[in-house]
Amino acid sequence: MQKPKKSYAWILLLLGGTCLSVALVMSLVVKTNPILKQEPEEDVQPQFQAEKISATPDIGVLTGQVKPLQQTTRVVASGIHDAEFRGTKFLQANSKSYTIQVLSFSKEDVLKAFLKDRKDRQNFMYFRLSDEDQPERYVLTYGIYRNEQSAEFNLQHLNLKLPASIHPEPQAFKSYLKYVNDLGSEEMGTNTIYEVRLKKASLPRPQPQPIVSSPAPEPAPTPQLSNDDAAAVMN
């Protein structure tokens, strides 16, 4: 009766050893097979951030595509100027000559009002002076002279009819060059002043038109009957 019990114990021991062996074999297979290994998840965000940071210094920079702004480019001052307005081109052409500086204005409209009633306005010219450290000014000058002595001589003999508090003085055109960066009216086609005088004109009187009567209609011609037709009518 004791033999079956011993056989049953040996069977259980054999099954336990077999299960343990299978478990050990499976663990070894998992460790040696790279496919069955669980790879850790990659952190994509740090790589993306590093990529954005590396591109940040070049944002807004178009190297070799957009040329820097030329500081010598002239501009057109806003507003409508009178024919006496001059710019950089005029000053460069007369850089060796002199003029008589008459007045300086803070507003162009005041200068225009001064020139409006002047009969000798064709001898005046004005410039817009702009500087970073000073407010914008409009300088009115008179005449073009070969040198300073000539400008001084003409100043003594001119009668500009200015208030006693205003003292015009000779000035070289080249002294304005670094403050002027405009197109003059002569370059923009606005240097011609037109004067239109209107005169009264008599209107022509309307002439009576003759009444033309329509001709009377001509009478219709009487039809001519042949001999046969006349004989037929008589019968």
pLDDT of residue 133: 82
Q: Provide DSSP, 18-87.
A: HHHHHHHHHHHHHHH-GGGS-PPPP-HHHHHHHHHHHHGGGTT--TTTSPPPPTT--BPPSSPPPTTB--
Two tokens, residue 123: 């001898």
Q: Where are the beta strands (DSSP E) in 109-227?
A: 124-131, 134-145, 169-172
On whether the CB atoms of residues 140 and 103 are closer than 8 A, the answer is yes
The DSSP call for residue 107 is -
On whether the CB atoms of residues 183 and 76 are closer than 8 A, the answer is yes
Average pLDDT, the chain: 74
pLDDT of residue 131: 86
pLDDT (tens digit per residue) in 79-119: 588 899 999 999 999 999 999 999 999 999 999 999 988 88
d(CA 186, CA 83): 7
pLDDT of residue 90: 95
Task: Give exposure, 49-75, as e/b (b: 16+ Cβ within 10 Å).
Answer: eeeeeeeeeeeeeeeeeeeeeeeeeee
pLDDT of residue 134: 83
pLDDT of residue 79: 56
pLDDT of residue 3: 52
Give the pTM: 0.49
pLDDT of residue 171: 96
Low-confidence ranges of the chain (pLDDT < 50): 1, 35-36, 44, 46, 48, 50-55, 63, 69-72, 74, 78, 191-194, 196
Task: Look at residues 87, 81, 188 and name the one whose alpha carbon lies nearest to residue 129.
Answer: 87
pLDDT of residue 84: 92
On whether the CB atoms of residues 202 and 172 are closer than 8 A, the answer is no
